[in-house]
Amino acid sequence: MKYAFAKRVRHLQSSAVRDILKVVGQGDVISFAGGLPDDELFPMKGIEDAFARVFATGKGSALQYAETEGYRPLREEIIKRMNEKKGIMNYSSDEVLVTTGSQQAIDLFSRIMLGPEDYVLTEDPTYLAALQVFHSYEANVLAVDSDDDGMFPDDLEQKMKQYKPKAVYVVPTFSNPAGRVWSLERRKALIQLAHKYNVVIFEDDPYGELQFLDNEQYTPLAALDDGTHVLYTSTFSKIAVPALRTGWVMGPYQIIRMMSQAKQANDLHTNSLSQQALYQLCTNFNLDGHIEQLISVYRSRMEVMVDCLQKADLPELSFVKPRGGMFLWVELSERLNTTILLNEAVRNGVAYVPGEPFYAGLAKKNTMRLNFTHATPERIEKGINLLVEVLSKKVEHQEHFFV
């Protein structure tokens, strides 16, 4: 039977990362592809105790329907944590919406704000799942010229003037995929231009607490704003566990209220049992100590990956050493196409994510994203050596893996 799908489904695409993970799961492959935290570091006892506390204190009511906006004690705890850790002071618990992962926050925002005639400005490269969401609502996505310090203010202003975008989507701290950290000057410039041209900023910050350098401070855009132009989203997936699928978004009340109404038509409310358990985890478990452990382990694994790449005898290989987060972004010789090369790499026992799907504009096909948080140091060293061997052969023999 030929099914009459809505016209907008032509914009739906399968996730490049998910497709790669399916292939990787079929054999003994060292994967640097997924953005996965380490299973061995999950706070198992803390999670068990948190759920036990929920059932001990909540009884049957813990299993009942709940507010769309989220479990209020958890929202209040999020506000407290954002005040103390991030300096975000302009929002109350009524301006927080708990979501099913921060990905849902991007979707709900797009649902209430974007249509076929609307524009979103992004960095290039940027988070590929956000690009998928924006395209699914038939929005036009434009890349702003950027470097490792963030968007160029002149190009940003020119595009704001010309296209009158509904939003600017950014990941200014340990970005996915490039691991960028915006300078304070560029952050302030974005805020100023957003106010000047009345544009909403959607700040995605899933990795901000995984900071490797103690002597640096990265101020969120939401902490620089007056509470009128920035939506800030984050998640417990990277600092607790992904399976609870709990994130949040905070911002101007009118936008949060409209997103809450859209959520009612989507899933009514995020898993309330998980929300209650996360509240118990935040208040009866040393979450900050757990995050410090994550940082220590992930930083050491990043150092191993960086060291292996620095030792690699590959022409034109370049990368910026991550200051936090979960990813390392690599650029190779312009003759290499990492999308075409991926199958060869997987056959040789190693996987990565090609850089091409992360671009809103003209893609650099000689790029790749490497995750360093899920593999042990031994497997990182082995996997990078395998990857370098594959790349070296293609460069040496000038085979057909070219742009």
Q: Is 5 exposed, middle or buried (0-12, 13-18, 19+ CB in 10 A)?
A: exposed
| pLDDT over 70 at 402, yes or no | no
Kindly tell me if the per-residue pLDDT of 393 is higher than 60: yes
Provide the Cα torsion 172, 178, 35, 252; round to 10°: 20
pLDDT higher than threshold 70 for residue 17: no
pLDDT tens digits for range 264-306? 999 999 999 999 999 999 999 999 999 999 999 999 999 999 9
**What is the per-residue pLDDT across 133-149, written as a single tens digit (0 to 9) for each?**
999 999 999 999 999 99
pLDDT of residue 4: 73
- Is the pLDDT at 353 greater than 70? The verdict is yes
Taking the C-alpha atoms of residue 268 and residue 66, their distance in angstroms, rounded to an integer, is 9
- Give the range among 127-136, 246-255, 312-321 with minimum mean pLDDT: 312-321
Residue 14 binned pLDDT confidence (cut-offs 50, 70, 90): low
- Residue with token string 């790669």: 20
Q: What is the pLDDT of residues 71-81, one digit of tens each?
A: 999 999 999 99
| Residue 65: predicted pLDDT | 93
58-284: CATH, from 3.40.50.1110, 3.40.47.10, 3.30.450.40, 3.40.640.10: 3.40.640.10
CA pair distance 178, 155, nearest whole angstrom: 20
How far apart (Å, rounded) are the C-alpha atoms in residues 156 and 153? 5
Per-residue buried b or exposed e for 313-329, using 16+ beta carbons within 10 Å of the residue's own CB: ebeebebeebbbbbbbb
Rounded mean pLDDT, 190-217: 97
pLDDT of residue 60: 73
Q: How far is CA 159 from CA 6, 121, 192, 199, 273, in A?
A: 31, 8, 15, 12, 44
Domain map (residue ranges) of the chain: 7-42+289-397, 58-284
Q: pLDDT at position 28, please? A: 85
Average pLDDT over residues 205-227: 97
Residue 11 banded pLDDT, cuts 50, 70, 90: low
Backbone angles phi, psi at 15, to 5 degrees: -70, 130
Percent of the chain with pLDDT over 70: 93
- Provide φ and ψ at 342, rounded to 5°: -60, -45
Query: Please, what is the average pLDDT of the chain?
Result: 93
The pLDDT assigned to 398 comes to: 56
Domain covering 7-42+289-397, topology: Aspartate Aminotransferase, domain 1 (3.90.1150)
pLDDT at 381 over 60: yes
Give the pLDDT score at 27: 65
Structure confidence at residue 22 (pLDDT): 64
What confidence category does residue 68 fall into, taking pLDDT thresholds of 50, 70 and 90?
very high
Selection from 222, 158, 213 nearest residue 181 by Cα: 213
Q: Which residue has the tokens 């390392």?
A: 328
Check residue 173 and give its pLDDT: 98
Token pair 């056959």 in the structure block, residue: 347
Q: Give 156-185 pLDDT, tens digit per residue.
A: 999 999 999 999 999 999 999 999 999 999
DSSP 140: E
pLDDT at res. 18: 58
Residues in Cβ contact with 47 at an 8 Å cutoff, skipping those fewer than 6 apart: 240, 241, 277, 281
Does the pLDDT value for residue 119 go beyond 80?
Answer: yes
- What gap in Å lies between CA 147 and CA 322, rounded to an integer? 15
Cβ atoms of 59 and 200 within 8 Å: the answer is no
The answer, yes or no, to whether residue 58 has pLDDT greater than 80, is no
- Rounded CA separation 367/337 (Å): 8
Q: What is the pLDDT of residues 20-49, one digit of tens each?
A: 666 555 568 999 998 899 999 999 999 999
Q: What is the mean pLDDT of residues 183-205?
A: 98
* 8-state DSSP, 361: S
What's residue 159's pLDDT? 98
Tens digit of pLDDT for each residue in 230-274? Answer: 999 999 999 999 999 999 999 999 999 999 999 999 999 999 999
For the entire predicted model, the pTM comes to 0.94
- 350-351/167-170 β-pairing: unpaired
Nearest to 108 by CA among 74, 77, 62, 69: 69
DSSP letters spanning 226-273? -SSSEEEEEESTTTS-GGG--EEEE--HHHHHHHHHHHHTTTSSS-HH
Residue 386 vs residue 313, higher pLDDT: 386
